[in-house]
Amino acid sequence: MSIPSKPVMITGASGALGRLLTRELSAAGWTLRLTDIAPFPDPLPEKASFLRYDLADGVAVMRQAEGVGAILHFGGCSVEQPFEAVIGPNLRGLYHIYEAARREKARVIFASSNHSIGFHKRPEGNEAKLDYDCAFRPDGYYGLSKAYGELMGRMYWDKHGIENVNLRIGSCFPKVVNRRMLSTWLSYPDLVRLCQAAVTAPRAGHAVIWACSNNAATYWGKDHRERIGWQPQDSADGARPEVEGIVSGDPVEERYQGGSYTSIEYSRQGGFSAKDAFDLD
Ligand code: 15L
């Protein structure tokens, strides 16, 4: 895998995925500009610099992005939060990232999420998988902000030619811990290879990728992975015997792809047997 000719910026560098990317991309010889609202907890790699600021500070974003070729945008709220907590980092902050990318003609790799489509039902049996161009069905304010982020990428590509790769991340954790993750799991090494491909692919345009490993029980179908030359190499399948019995018992959570996020403050009345209420899309 080639080394980018310009520095690469990573937002959310102090989070679990930011730290992973920092470690692995530094080891691969990349020059990194890191940022987070929290201090960076690890020793700083040789070719990396770190600045601590809030993504709501547009001037700080612009300054740090000077001269970068790509921005791996993993910063902002990464779980469901009240609306007021989400809008600063995930809406205004994202705008700052895209304005910086526009100035630098840099590519944005956006850590989107399955929660932008979380209210799609889980496919059963031979039911069709979801393709990348399915409707957004966010399962909360966090998922809504990820849909907004993908649409912002759509607009900056159409209007300004700013390339962006939107990673609809399933569940990126060291291990598979429940039945849902047999479908949604993304291994750490597959994420790292995905980010490398997204940054170094000769052309990306506006791309959407289902970011999960090679899981037999996946919910997801077509996307733009061929365009960036990525194929997952790991799989959740081996964990089936230990985890397939690990379910929540909550009918809302188990019905929808977004899992537990769909049932947070869920207040729609009726039961799933009430066909007229629940089969209307
Ligand atoms: C996400 O978007 C979250 O960042 C992560 O913490 C998990 O909840 C994941 O989705 C998931 O759906 O498993």
> In whole angstroms, how large is the CA radius of gyration of the chain?
19
Atom in ligand 1 nearest the alpha carbon of residue 181: 13
Which of these is catalytic: 98, 132, 141, 142? Answer: 142
Beta carbon of 218 within 6 Å of any ligand 1 atom: no
Q: Could you tell me the distance, in angstroms and rounded to a whole number, from the CA of residue 75 to the centre of ligand 1?
A: 14
Please determine, for residue 203, whether its predicted confidence score (pLDDT) is greater than 90: yes
Q: pLDDT exceeding 70 applies to what percent of the chain?
A: 96
Tokens of 256: 């929808």
Strand partners, 35: 11, 51
Tens-digit pLDDT profile for residues 112-164: 999 999 999 999 999 999 999 999 999 999 999 999 999 999 999 999 999 99
Tens-digit pLDDT profile for residues 217-248: 999 999 999 999 999 999 999 999 999 999 99
Could you list the beta-strand ranges (E) of the chain. Answer: 8-11, 32-36, 48-52, 70-73, 107-113, 164-169, 171-172, 185-186, 206-211
Task: State the pTM of this model.
Answer: 0.96
Annotated catalytic, 142? yes
Closest Cα to atom 10, ligand 1: which residue? 171
Tens-digit pLDDT profile for residues 33-57: 999 999 999 999 999 999 999 999 9
Q: Could you tell me the distance, in angstroms and rounded to a whole number, from the CA of residue 155 to the centre of ligand 1?
A: 25
Are 213 and 190 in contact, with CB atoms under 8 Å apart?
A: yes
Beta carbon of 145 within 6 Å of any ligand 1 atom: no
Please determine, for residue 273, whether its predicted confidence score (pLDDT) is greater than 60: no
Are 2 and 200 in contact, with CB atoms under 8 Å apart?
A: yes
Are 175 and 213 in contact, with CB atoms under 8 Å apart?
A: no
pLDDT of amino acid 1:
77
Beta carbon of 113 within 6 Å of any ligand 1 atom: yes
> Which of 173, 210, 209, 199 lies closest to 188 in space, CA to CA?
173
How many Å separate Cα 233 from the centre of its chain? 18
Closest Cα to atom 7, ligand 1: which residue? 171
Are 168 and 208 in contact, with CB atoms under 8 Å apart?
A: yes
Pocket mutation for ligand 1, best pick of 137, 144, 166, 171 (most atoms within 8 Å of C-beta)? 171
Beta carbon of 85 within 6 Å of any ligand 1 atom: no
